[in-house]
Amino acid sequence: MSTHPWWQTTVIYQIYPRSFQDTTGNGVGDLPGITSRLDYLADTLGVGAIWISPFYKSPMADFGYDVADYTSVDPLFGTMNDFDELLDEVHARGMKLIIDWVPNHSSDEHPWFLESRSSRDNPKRDWYTWRDPKPDGSPPNNWVSAFTGPAWNFDETTGQYYLCTFTTKQADLNWRNPEVQEAMLADLAFWLDRGVDGIRVDVAHFVMKDPELRDNPLVEGEPVLNTKDHGEYDLYQHLHDKGHPHNHGLYRDVRALLDSYQPERFSVGEIYIADWNEWASYYGDLDELHLPFNFSLLWAPWTAQGISEEVNTAEAAIPPGGWPSYVLGNHDNNRIATRFGEEQMPIAAMLLLTLRGVPTLYYGDELGIPERFIPPEQQLDPHGRLLPGAGRDGCRTPMQWDSSAHAGFSPDTAETTWLPLADDWAERNVAQHLDDPHSLLNLYRRLLAYRRSSADLQTADYEQLAAPDGCFAYRRGKLIVALNFTDEVIELPFTGEVELSTYPDAEAHAGRLRAHEGIIVAG
């Protein structure tokens, strides 16, 4: 019996609910759709946990990350009964369900905000951050929205600005007000009481801001750009609009709430912080978030050196007893198949599933679905509409199940799907991949099965091994993993039996990597 808690040895699969399976024919995925595909997740793939992006009542200004009622299911996605059934069916298959928790902001259509904006002396006025304009009528400070433009929206009725770090329809909650804390934690407890196994915390480090709302200084020199173009946002040092030390108290409270439940509940925070010490501070004394998501592989150069440096730095930054996590793709970043190149997809899969820590696999990456180009004028994503080039629609296209109409995502009767399918869906889909022993999906299946059977891959320490240029090699217990980031043959200093190669043939050899090959060797 493993002495590790379930979340340390699991593999998380992220579902963007609009895009996984549509059962009604309206072109948008729904909760019964996810339930209908659980056998794929549990048996065909064999992942341990599912994280579902928001499905709460929402005007969908940011496709659900604008929550109008934290304890509801949006009718677009189904009903609370559908949710309960999904949860039961997930548990019946021995899997865990992680839901998205969005504490930084609610929708401007949340009843709390409607009250708050109704008058300056409404009891909920202080549940959000309201400030007078400067004497010239401009916003109270220089904070910029993560989606570009001012982070303040002027409200004509009451003559003040409210803070909105994303779209103007996402109003930042004022967590310094104890009533907000109490109400938000009560809404979180609603789901924990229902039996959800964990939460993914949206923009976890944004929640607490500088109480004095001081201006952010400009970046000195060249701004460090993210994988996406954030435009104006990247021109500032975000010293005051996020990352305030008071976040730590909040996550200790959240952890205490999670820890009051049995069996163990889990939290993973969306923490896009480049400074490793600050990033690691969200583990606290192992009394805050169980895991901060580690996104460093998303922006590192895709080379043996670039990736190994990130892994080594992450391993060194994590506090004693802390557990790593790795992400290669999600609903905010361009698809990995397009970023790293199709030929590198097999080693990307092996990397993700053999490093120490919790891997999160984004739906469709197991097929290598490419980024779908969506012209700026057709973007639905608010970020893409505000800032051409930053659009996220291209990584949110419908899941590709088979070669039937709409790739099996929507019923035949559907006129269209909410976003177009990626171009190659007729060949790149689950049904076709299952039939092809060389497919990426079958490699993921082999890797996931191997990981489930290997205590070393689940829990052993990580140690980088010396290897020739172009190869990233590491030890996990008795196993050696070697990955070829190049299109050339690389001779290796290793011996032993190859347990698994990304090439599904009998030619794999511990002493040599073929182009783009990855191997797991029992050393």
Of the pair 370, 391, the CB lying nearest ligand NOJ is at 391
Q: Which of 30, 74, 172, 202 binds ligand NOJ (CB under 6 A)?
A: 202
Q: What angle do CA 371, 375, 380 make, to 5 degrees?
A: 85
End-to-end CA separation in angstroms for the chain: 24
Instruction: Fill in the DSSP letter of residue 54.
Output: -
From the candidates 74, 241, 270, 517, give the one annotated as an active-site residue. 270
Stretch (H or E) spanning 430: helix 430-435
Binding-site residue total for ligand NOJ (CB under 6 A)? 9
Is-contact 417 39, C-beta < 8 A? no
Q: How far apart are CA 130 and CA 159, in angstroms?
A: 10
Q: For the window 320-339, what string marks contact with ligand NOJ as x by the rule CB under 6 A? A: -----------xx-------
377: annotated active-site residue: no
The torsion defined by the Cα of 25, 29, 31 and 37, in degrees rounded to 10, comes to 90
Q: What's the Cα-to-Cα distance from 400 to each of 201, 407, 517, rounded to whole Å?
A: 28, 5, 26
Q: For the window 93-112, what string marks contact with ligand NOJ as x by the rule CB under 6 A? A: ---------x----------
Secondary structure (3-state) at 402: coil
Question: Is residue 70 near ligand NOJ by the rule CB under 6 A?
Answer: no
Please give the radius of gyration of the chain, using alpha carbons only, rounded to the nearest integer: 23
Annotate 113-139 with DSSP letters as a single string: HHHHHH-TT-TTGGGB-EEPPPTTS--
The torsion defined by the Cα of 237, 243, 246 and 248, in degrees rounded to 10, comes to -150
Stretch (H or E) spanning 229: none
Q: Which of 87, 203, 280, 311 binds ligand NOJ (CB under 6 A)?
A: 203
Q: Residues with Cβ < 8 Å from 409, sequence gap 6 or more?
A: 19, 20, 21, 22, 29, 398, 399, 400, 401, 417, 421
Closest approach, Cβ 206 to ligand NOJ, in A, equals 8
Q: For the window 262-291, what string marks contact with ligand NOJ as x by the rule CB under 6 A? A: --------x---------------------
Backbone angles phi, psi at 17, to 5 degrees: -65, -30
Closest approach, Cβ 147 to ligand NOJ, in A, equals 8
* Closest alpha carbon to 91 in 2, 201, 197, 220: 197
Is-contact 302 338, C-beta < 8 A? no
108: annotated active-site residue: no
Closest approach, Cβ 77 to ligand NOJ, in A, equals 16
Amino acid making up residue 247: N
Residues of this chain, 38-67, that bind ligand NOJ according to CB under 6 A: 62, 65
Q: What's the Cα-to-Cα distance from 104 to each of 201, 206, 354, 401, rounded to whole Å?
A: 9, 6, 33, 35
Backbone angles phi, psi at 120, to 5 degrees: -65, -25
Q: For the window 366-405, what string marks contact with ligand NOJ as x by the rule CB under 6 A? A: ----------------------------------------
Closest approach, Cβ 488 to ligand NOJ, in A, equals 37
Q: Which residue is nearest to ligand NOJ (CB)?
A: 65
From the candidates 202, 366, 393, 517, give the one annotated as an active-site residue. 202
Backbone angles phi, psi at 32, to 5 degrees: -60, -30
Of the pair 31, 102, the CB lying nearest ligand NOJ is at 102
Q: For the window 214-243, what string marks contact with ligand NOJ as x by the rule CB under 6 A? A: ------------------------------
Report CA torsion sign: 513, 517, 518, 520. Answer: negative
Instruction: Fill in the DSSP letter of residue 509.
Output: B
Quote the crossing angle between the two packed helices 247-259 and 178-194, to the nearest 10°: 30
* Closest alpha carbon to 200 in 16, 388, 368: 16
Secondary structure (3-state) at 427: coil
Closest approach, Cβ 168 to ligand NOJ, in A, equals 13
Closest approach, Cβ 165 to ligand NOJ, in A, equals 8
Active site residues: 202, 270
**Interface residues toward ligand NOJ, by CB under 6 A:** 62, 65, 102, 166, 202-203, 270, 331-332
